[in-house]
Structure 1
Amino acid sequence: MTLPKRVTITDVAEAAGVAASTVSRALSTPGRVNATTRDHILEVAERLGYVPNPSARAMSSGRTHTFALLVPDITNPYFAGAIKGAERAAAAAGKTLVLGDTQESPSVERELVQRLGPAVDGLVIAAARGTDEDLAAAAGRHRLALVNRTLPGVAGVPSVVADYDAGTRQIVDHLVSLGHESLVFLAGPHESWSGARRWAGLLAAAESSGVAARRLGPYQPTLQGGPAAADAALAARATAIVCHNDMLAIGVLRRLAGRGVRVPDDVSVVGFDDMFGADFCQPALTTLAERTEDAGACAIDLLLRPGSAATVVVPTQLKVRDSTGPCR
């Protein structure tokens, strides 16, 4: 089957009886063409089914109308919210969103920035694993916004962060109300900025409440990281376990069930993120919810405002479910 011929600017110009350059101006900078001519050209273009060539538009304008969003693990449901919010905001602005998976690797993240940076108008990196130096270098070459990461001392890099100070306070208050006097935090990757913030918040809240807090790890922030993390928490004789994220927490719940440890009768478990499915597991997981869709959309909005260096703090809320209970 022969594919239909693509309608070009030349075809529109011939049908409208004007020069191709006039058609180009009417479509890209309509203010430079008088209203009558512009309306005529637009009517002809629509009748012929003309669709602008994005590559040609990028060559003439120097802009691709495309943003890239990089996430550490595309299979982690937590990032689905950020992706959905970013896609919604990009579409509303007439932009295309490209998605990249950094595989929890600083080197893969750096390679994707180098490869995608020149091809897009801006980059959003969620839960960046790269060093401050890597991100500063990227910001020097590309328009950049961060989700759940800040870049102190580097001007012009906006960020969207969750309110972990208030959120970790909610977790500790909840555990104290149940009679827990100690907790362990099962940490994720040492490159995780949000993981460091979560631990700092838990430690500060625990100290102010007279609760003993201990950090174990790092562990892989996946279901597969659960067995080793759960065994370490049991060895520490913890009555309350707070996990780096929900994926790790669900892996911990599975391991505890396999070892005959009752949750929450013997030990309480708390996660972070409130990812899709956190309320489906057995028992349903108590976790700190973040507004990930809002964060993804906000990051795109920050890219659309050149020169913005704002740090937007997104509220968090503890979702109390069945995995936490009175201290044994």
Structure 2
Amino acid sequence: MRTGATISDVASAAGVSRATVSRVMNGSTVDAELTRRVRAAAAELHYRPSVTARSLSLGRTLAVGIVVPDLANPMFQAVLRAVADGAHRHGYSVVVAETAGPDRDEADIVRSTRARCDALVIVAPRMSQEVLAEVLDEVDPVVLVNRTVPGSATPSVNVDYSPAMYGVVEHLVGLGHRAIAYLSGPESSPSNTARLDGLGRARLAFGDVRFFTLACGATVAEGYALAHAALATQATAVVAYNDQVAFGLLGHLHELGVDVPGTLSVVGFDDIELARYATPSLTTVHVPYDEIGARAWARLHARIAGEAEPAPDAGVDVRGAAEVLPAALLTRASSATAPAAG
């Protein structure tokens, strides 16, 4: 095995200049055939560019930052993984920062992360619109996920949670449910605000249905803690802010001997990997987080490289600088026909 290959070795083997090898390795746009030859030669010679040398030559860190509110949440892990996959393919390392915790200043974490990298993806920030707008001006280039700032040119990739929530209610009403409880997410969460918007539209559309909103949160433990309160509403269906909340609720309902879905239907949000393996399997809203992460990286990389953004896929709603992806209800075993009134 040959080791210690240099950029000159790769250039000679590929029949190109050192500059072309450098551009390919730095992720710049190069003719497809030249790129193929350079990468084939680099693989054959086991060439690995020096990260330090690349950073110095480019005047950049060759790292991108991803700021998420909670690393324990599989939803955010999926976005992170997709962004990281794209970044690594283009020669970037990834810096990950978490903003969870009551004493952590989200804006300061965003700023400090940006100081260590060339660009940022900020996932579901919960700071105020005013603070967020100020921070975005300081840390560009940046792409937002699950958040927009009205009038801002900052690219964002989002999900249409409001119609998704309306669709959940429509599904439950179609099953005969006339009393529905919502375990609400964090008050500062924009995606929770969107869910509440969809719930509000459903209230107007389904006047014979009673709705209950219970302050909950985003964790398994918070869903578990709300089981008694959800049962006290005498609702026949519960919609959880996310799948983690739904898992906690299902676990406590099982301990209490409550039949799901015979006595109470349960619906989640996100369709994380474990949702299909819950007992019973969880009816939930599928959110395409892999696509969200991939698209966030594509838009960020275009900004870093000074290139035009690739066009969004069909079915994506473009609203100014925001791309809004649809979400779809997946019906599984945890929702069923409402129990007959006794």
Q: Structure 2 length normalisation: TM-score?
A: 0.79
With over 3 angstroms needed to count, the CA separation of the structure-2 counterparts of 1:93 and 1:206, relative to structure 1, is farther
Matches for 1:159-174 after TM superposition, within 5 Å: 159-174=156-171
Match of 2:36 in 1: none
Query: What 5-or-longer segments of structure 1 have no aligned partner?
Result: 17-22, 32-41
Which residue of 1 is the match for residue 337 of structure 2?
A: 326
Shift of 1:169: 2.4
Describe the shift of the 1:226–1:49 C-alpha distance in structure 2 as closer, same or farther (beyond 3 A): closer
Structure 1 Cα separation of the partners of residues 219 and 119 of structure 2: 29
Cα offset, 1:51, TM superposition: 4.0
Once the two structures are superposed, what CA deviation does each residue of 1:145-193 show, in whole Å capped at 9, x if it has no partner?
Answer: 111111123x221111112233122211110111111211111111111
Percent sequence identity over aligned pairs: 37
Residue in 1 that maps onto 2:49: 52
Asked if residue 245 in structure 1 is aligned to residue 214 in structure 2, the reply is no
For 2:325 and 2:20, how far apart are their aligned partners in 1? 41
Structure-2 separation of matches of 1:303 and 1:66: 12
CA drift of 1:122 comes to 1.2
For residues 289-323 of structure 1, the C-alpha deviation after alignment (integer angstroms, 9 at most, x for no partner) is 00000000111111123387621111211111111
Match of 2:221 among 220, 224, 236: 224
* Equivalent residues, number: 304
Aligned to 1:271: 268
Correspondence 1:316 to 2:327:
yes
Equivalent position of 2:109 in the other structure: 112
Structure 2 counterpart of 1:149, from 124, 137, 147: 147
User: Using the alignment, how far apart are the partners of 2:173 and 2:232 within structure 1?
Assistant: 22
Alignment CA distance shift 1:230-1:53 (3 Å): same
Is this contact kept in 2: 1:106–1:130, CA < 8 A? no
Determine helix, strand or coil for the equivalent of 2:226: helix
Q: Which whole-Å CA distance do the structure 2 matches of 1:281 and 1:193 have between them?
A: 27
The structural deviation recorded for 1:6 is 7.4
Q: What does residue 192 of structure 1 align with?
A: 189
Write out per-residue CA displacement over residues 228-281 of structure 1, whole angstroms, 9 at most, x where no aligned residue. Answer: 222221122211111110000110011111112211111111110000101111
For 2:243 and 2:205, the matched residues in 1 are separated by 26
Asked if 1:179 corresponds to 2:176, the answer is yes
- Once residues 304 and 50 of structure 1 are traced to their aligned partners in structure 2, the CA distance between those partners, rounded to angstroms, is 24
Secondary structure of the residue aligned to 1:213 is strand
Residue in 1 that maps onto 2:62? 65
Q: CA deviation at 1:47?
A: 9.7
Deviation at 1:223, TM superposition (A): 1.2
User: What TM-score, normalized by structure 1, do the two folds share?
Assistant: 0.82
Cα-Cα RMSD: 3.1
Q: Where does the alignment leave 5 or more consecutive residues of structure 2 unmatched?
A: 29-38, 310-319
Which residue in 2 is equivalent to 1:85?
82
Say whether the 8 Å CA contact 1:148–1:159 is kept in structure 2.
Answer: yes
* Residues 121, 142 of structure 2: 8 Å contact kept: yes
User: C-alpha separation between the residues in 1 aligned to 2:124 and 2:107?
Assistant: 13
- The answer as to 2:252 corresponding to 1:258 is no
- Give the C-alpha shift of residue 134 in structure 1: 3.0
Residues of 1 paired with 2:291 and 2:23: CA distance? 33
Question: 1-side partners of 2:334 and 2:20: how far apart?
Answer: 61
State the alpha-carbon separation in 1 of the partners of residues 59 and 280 from structure 2: 53
Q: Structure 1 residue 198: deviation in Å? A: 0.9
Q: Secondary structure of the residue that 2:196 maps to in structure 1?
A: helix
